[in-house]
Amino acid sequence: MKTEARSGGVIARYLEFLPVNKSTPVVSLGEGSTPFLFASRLSDRVGCRVIIKCESMNPTGSFKDRGMTVAVSRALEGGAQTLLCASTGNTAASAAAYAAHAGIRCAVILPAGKIAAGKLTQAAAHGATIVSVNGNFDDALRIVRELANEKHFSVVNSINPDRIAGQKTAAFEIIDELGDAPDVHVLPLGNAGNLTAYSNGYAEFHRLGHCKRKPRMIGIQAEGAAPIFYRRVIEKPETVASAIRIGNPASWRTAQRAIDETQGGVDVVSDSEILDAQRWLAENEGIFVEPASAAPVAWLLNASVTTKERFLSADPIIACTVTGHGLKDAKIISPHLPPSVPPSARAVRAAIER
């Protein structure tokens, strides 16, 4: 009888491209191979073909799982006892789940009061030790860097290159599915690890001849938390998209280089554009994402004339990554439930047709 994790995890699928070998103990929850969906209504609105990479469909509901399987497998191989990360929520949820699966401890350092309820629930459910600090994500990451040298800790933030290596597999999947790279790839930009990972993945498959082009990489930040757009550290980042409430991104330089080399760009969207896009995507495409993930959708929906001329003319194929599931941060969309009705078909019909 086979008792291994179900195949289809990113290490099983892309072993030869990852920093693991046959003897690495693989810790997988079956991440990766996520849907890549043509978005017809979004495409109509934008005037080009938009395909959505649904990273919200990973085991813990975000793209972090791709990097976490590699980082935790390698940590286990190295004899780690406790995983450690700072997080705006999703890294913590993912690390907690993979630690539980591996049977090791996990401590997550979180900015107090700034984590979406669903993500906090996940970290707690998987038994992580939760430490809330009175500071923001950047403070939490600084502390993790300070603790990183202590031997029993294994840091699983994206400052750990194994995380970035695992996350590049999303670009591999897109190329494998499309038969080439898209023209443009747009995604939310927080700590800038994911944009770095995608551009590494595209570059690697380009070198190997699996695609003819490399996409223009476009990162979208929230207006109140946009250090890369404004080209300066933001001391007190603020945005409703708590996942990308980051003022001093760890992978700033590598992301900037990828953006420059591919003639891509960085842009900002407002909180209200983000929330409108979150709702629009749920209602018009059936895809429910958290606010941070709605940022690139907001950018597409609100593209200015200049943006359209620069990036969206010549009928490009656009890949848009949505990074996390809407249920993680569901308070944002309040259901506005109408009053209840008597238990009769007549009353229910009247309520439907109201």
Where does this chain touch ligand AN7 (CB under 6 A) — which range of 29-37, 190-198, 210-218, 229-237? 190-198
Residue type, 339: P
292 binds ligand AN7 (CB under 6 A): yes
Residue whose CB is less far from ligand AN7, 10 or 292: 292
Q: Which range binds ligand AN7 by CB under 6 A, 121-129, 147-155, 183-191, 261-269?
A: 183-191
Q: Are 250 and 192 in contact (CB under 8 A)?
A: yes
Q: Which residue has the tokens 């590699």?
A: 70
Answer for which of 9, 190, 215, 296 binds ligand AN7 (CB under 6 A) is 190
Nearer to ligand AN7, 183 or 290 (CB): 290
Task: Indicate the residue among 332 and 341 with the shorter CB distance to ligand AN7.
Answer: 332
Per-residue contact track with ligand AN7, 305 to 344, x per CB under 6 A?
Answer: ------------------xx--------------------
CA within 13 Å, CB half, 152: 6
Contact between 162 and ligand AN7 by CB under 6 A: the answer reads no
86-115 binders of ligand AN7 (CB under 6 A): 87-91
User: Which run of H or E residues covers position 14?
Assistant: helix 10-14
By the rule CB under 6 A, 28 interacts with ligand AN7: no
Binding residues (CB under 6 A) for ligand AN7: these are: 62, 87-91, 158, 188-194, 243-244, 290, 292-293, 323-324
